[in-house]
Chains A and B, each alone.
Chain A
Amino acid sequence: MPYLGSEDVVKELKKALCNPHIQADRLRYRNVIQRVIRYMTQGLDMSGVFMEMVKASATVDIVQKKLVYLYMCTYAPLKPDLALLAINTLCKDCSDPNPMVRGLALRSMCSLRMPGVQEYIQQPILNGLRDKASYVRRVAVLGCAKMHNLHGDSEVDGALVNELYSLLRDQDPIVVVNCLRSLEEILKQEGGVVINKPIAHHLLNRMSKLDQWGQAEVLNFLLRYQPRSEEELFDILNLLDSFLKSSSPGVVMGATKLFLILAKMFPHVQTDVLVRVKGPLLAACSSESRELCFVALCHVRQILHSLPGHFSSHYKKFFCSYSEPHYIKLQKVEVLCELVNDEDVQQVLEELRGYCTDVSADFAQAAIFAIGGIARTYTDQCVQILTELLGLRQEHITTVVVQTFRDLVWLCPQCTEAVCQALPGCEENIQDSEGKQALIWLLGVHGERIPNAPYVLEDFVENVKSETFPAVKMELLTALLRLFLSRPAECQDMLGRLLYYCIEEEKDMAVRDRGLFYYRLLLVGIDEVKRILCSPKSDPTLGLLEDPAERPVNSWASDFNTLVPVYGKAHWATISKCQGAERCDPELPKTSSFAASGPLIPEENKERVQELPDSGALMLVPNRQLTADYFEKTWLSLKVAHQQVLPWRGEFHPDTLQMALQVVNIQTIAMSRAGSRPWKAYLSAQDDTGCLFLTELLLEPGNSEMQISVKQNEARTETLNSFISVLETVIGTIEEIKS
């Protein structure tokens, strides 16, 4: 009953957690907590017992502590105020003599994702970085990244970054790797962690001490390093040589990528590396870990794009086994298709022919398409196999074979004769839209060579009323008109019937329009129809365009060992394009654009507002937290740079104003209570060049005006003007919302 009746469950658990008898009995207490976690896992909202769970965190039982911390990390964002109560216990645990408890507490504290926790975790993290137990240091280093993440877009703490850089020399390997990860996240805006020569060499020397995860990670970071000289480059490659033979396929792939990238000026080195990883890759391709096998196959395909002959001698390794999962079979067929050459073509085709009768229709169709792909080079053999397949009279096979034929005659006109001979009789075994379209197209374009073409089309015309796919009807119209041009006598009558049906009875507008179009075209005269419909029947040059000869290794080296070969380049491009757009969104408020300000600003204002950032080239930096003291000092030391009066009527909510200002990255330092007269507010903002804008808003009692005074620590009129216009817009907007 996990998804229903959560209230009763919560009530019951709450009661149990409060029961002093249960609290006294450790095992029973822990059991109740376990139940809470179990419900939480199942997706039940357990935030109702937060208070009781916080109480349970004060215990010596480590298991219980772990469970409670797990619970708190999940629900802290929902109950930030209650979570603050737990911080005390956590802080105490951070100085426990047991390093395990220290680590656990620190990790949990950093994982509480709620606003305001930063100020509490800063000190424990700093202590943790200097802890004598490396277990705690590991946690603390990643804690820095978590803390940065919490701040969102806050400024980078230079001291902390330096501390992390120095921890790269830590003696514990995991601390070193965690440092890299943490720095990477903290410095993301600036392009990530910097790998200079000393760091790169240090990491290279530590490589063998790392575990496989660490090695893979470091190999990835080393991609960024550019060796100064050729000598250094080859030294590095020599050092990393053994990782090409690592027991972990991930490390092997990482090392391969690094080799390919570092040696991008030395094609012979690249080829050499690819030869050497052949063994490990083949091993992965035939390993029992199917998912790894899949990934390896994807990469084999990638390599084959550049070096078509690379795996030729091993083609038998890519023969499918009956019991392999579907996804591996599909990949293997693709690989076979790529590595076919004069010597092995016979065996590969034999093998593929076997797959065409596989029980899985999906796989059989993939095999047929693969044969169609090979047919571009070895046309005769393939067409023969495909023709034999038609003899099986299987629906799912016939339809794919006919589609393959259609694509083939377009690219390889020399096989047209053979295809035309094979076609008669197919129509009985085709039911789906794709297959029908392909068959009708072939009959239309090459109808003069197929004796019974008009009769087959006639059958389609007879049954057009019951035809469900509009695309088939469209194809039928075009094909029949084409055939009419070459064999008018046999087609005239049914063309008339088809046009009549399409214009008078057809409900699909596209088909109807196509019918009308052809009808009017016919009215113009037969010569005009010929001129328009009789285009070339094949285009062999397209084949050359489609598979450009070998692609250089450097064109995909940077994609190696990422998700790109797994998804395919095209699919990945769509995924990452969307991701790019998404990533831009949260950045918008930072550049002080108003686009993301949500309901605060009504639609009609948006246009005007969005123009602003461009006009003055003003970039306000977010979250510049000035202390009140500093503000006061600066305020007193500066002269008023600009003073202005805006119309202002009646009551308003200072909170609304504060929020609106927040959106454009203007910080409110201090503000009078709502309704008090005179009402004052002090604001501060900073742009990307470091120029400060300090502002006072003043509402005098009885006056229907707001007085604005702005001070600037660097006198620059153009930024000042754009700042004022931003301010005006915000205040104007609030005014409009009110009225």
Chain B
Amino acid sequence: MIGGLFIYNHKGEVLISRVYRDDIGNAVDAFRVNVIHARQQVRSPVTNIARTSFFHVKRSNIWLAAVTKQNVNAAMVFEFLYKMCDVMAAYFGKISEENIKNNFVLIYELLDEILDFGYPQNSETGALKTFITQQGIKSQTKEEQSQITSQVTGQIGWRREGIKYRRNELFLDVLESVNLLMSPQGQVLSAHVSGRVVMKSYLSGMPECKFGMNDKIVIEKQGKGTADETSKSGKQSIAIDDCTFHQCVRLSKFDSERSISFIPPDGEFELMRYRTTKDIILPFRVIPLVREVGRTKLEVKVVIKSNFKPSLLAQKIEVRIPTPLNTSGVQVICMKGKAKYKASENAIVWKIKRMAGMKESQISAEIELLPTNDKKKWARPPISMNFEVPFAPSGLKVRYLKVFEPKLNYSDHDVIKWVRYIGRSGIYETRC
């Protein structure tokens, strides 16, 4: 149970303060003084001050803190804070000081509905919409009133009855973040993809959906008869290490038949979350070469190779090559894109807008060093990379998404479906 919830800006000024329990005392100030103003590295996201536990999450330079006196389970509190951030983001976009100040009435309203006496209540954005009167004066019509009653008594918490759309449409986004840690010799130390399937549904009634992907277990089960098909086209299926689903998915069916069927919430939601570690397509290889020429000069050469179909284009590529603290000057030559030495960040930042697959590009730099008597060896932080590619690095493919609505007369064919794959870099580092 949560005793209070506070939001601070980076200076420690209170933007939102909502106390649910009296037992937490003057927690608002305690957190400000002991954590925000402490100006040290944060040693733990859970802090105990005067026998009260503070759980905090940072979003850009905003601090969100939940306070409790009880021995709660920490994972749940953090999940709640994340949920709170999601809900706020769904209402007003990015969580920034300005947005919070402008929407503080709304936030108080939300906090009132999501938590009561410190216990989490309904937190689905869709279901919450009925209770939040952000726009204000709008007095309730009869229809809306009955809607609330039906919604609050409904069996399915995540969808209300009587939704109607002229055009039945759904969007599927496969969003993956690929993480890599590579040794200087080009050996993969660890790599994993954590992905999410996000669905935006604008469907009438209570549609029953069935989602299929190239999960190895399913393919193998079905493909027993047509084994040659899978062998012909190489990597057709992927092995998922573990996956979790939105509440709406019937888990019993997934366990028995591994089929994913559900009645979706209205609007945007995260259908599934998964993780793979095998056979990951690493979109980029980074090959670093660092040579120390005497005590005052470093030569750095970095080659990046794109490793996907030539017809695809990667975007927003950024390579960050760290430089020593005593750098005095840098000369950079690159064949493609723009590179700049940023003294404040101690790094050479190389940006390439677009790059096709199976290409190679190179940057070389000469770094002049100030002679120092500091014997400390330069720790050589890893070269990190950011990018966005239009495919799923895990190899996941959506095979189908079928929609059935028995009561209303629209069929699977009438639904307009959109599928999009986006692979982004998570922590993508190569040691040098």
Contacts and interface: CB of A to CB of B under 8 A. Distances in A.
Interface of A: 26-27, 30, 34, 37-38, 41-43, 60-63, 66-67, 70, 74, 97-100, 104, 107, 111, 113, 132-135, 138-139, 142, 145-146, 171-174, 177-178, 181, 208-209, 211-213, 216-217, 220, 242, 245-250, 253-254, 279-280, 282-284, 286-292, 294-296, 298, 316-317, 319, 321-327, 330, 357-360, 362, 392-394, 561-564, 566-567, 571, 575-576, 578-579, 582
Contacts of A173: 157
B16 interface: yes
Is the contact region of chain A dominated by helix, strand, or loop, or is it mixed?
helix
B421 interface: no
Interface string B103-120: 011001100100011011
Contact of A248 (B41, B79, B133): B79
B133 A63 contact: yes
Given A98-B145, A357-B379, A578 B51 contact: yes
Interface in B162-186: 177, 179, 181
Interface string B52-74: 01011100000000000101111
B145 A66 contact: no
Contacts of B57: 291
Contact of A360 (B16, B41, B181): B41
Contact of A63 (B78, B105, B119, B152): B105
Given A66-B109, A578-B51, A247 B244 contact: yes
Contact of B375 (A174, A245, A393, A561): A393
Is the contact region of chain B dominated by helix, strand, or loop, or is it mixed?
mixed
A63 B136 CA distance: 6
Interface residues of B, number: 89
A499 to B, nearest CB: 37
Contacts of A34: 104-105
B45 A575 contact: no
B91 to A, nearest CB: 14
A563 B76 contact: no
Given A283-B242, A286-B194, A292-B75, A38 B51 contact: no
Interface of B: 1, 13-17, 19, 22, 28, 41-46, 48, 51, 53, 55-57, 69, 71-76, 78-82, 104-105, 108-109, 112, 116-117, 119-124, 130-131, 133, 136-137, 139-140, 145, 148-149, 152-153, 155, 157, 177, 179, 181, 189-190, 192, 194, 241-242, 244-247, 251-252, 255, 272-273, 275, 375-377, 379, 381-382, 384, 426-427, 429
6 contacts: A99-B148, A178-B121, A291-B81, A324-B427, A563-B74, A575-B48
B22 to A, nearest CB: 6
Contact of B72 (A27, A282, A563, A567): A563
A230 B381 CA distance: 56
A211 B124 contact: yes
Given A213-B76, A394-B376, A562-B71, A288 B42 contact: no
Nearest to A2: B13
A575 B44 CA distance: 16
B47 to A, nearest CB: 10
A42 B14 contact: yes
A321 B429 contact: yes
Nearest to A41: B17
Contacts of A295: 46, 74-75, 78
A37 B104 CA distance: 9
A246 to B, nearest CB: 6
A209 B427 contact: no
A107 B112 CA distance: 9
Given A41-B15, A283-B194, A291 B78 contact: yes
B41 A174 contact: no
Given A66-B108, A212-B247, A394-B376, A133 B76 contact: no
A319 B190 contact: yes
B75 A249 contact: yes
B98 to A, nearest CB: 14
Contacts of A392: 375-377
B152 A242 contact: no
B44 A211 contact: no
Contacts of A104: 112
B108 A133 contact: no
Contacts of A134: 152-153
B69 to A, nearest CB: 8
* Interface-central residue, A139, A294, A563, A576, by most chain B CB under 10 Å: A563
A172 B157 CA distance: 9
A245 to B, nearest CB: 6
A311 to B, nearest CB: 13
A254 B73 contact: yes
Contacts of A292: 75, 78-79, 82
Contacts of A27: 137
B22 A113 contact: yes
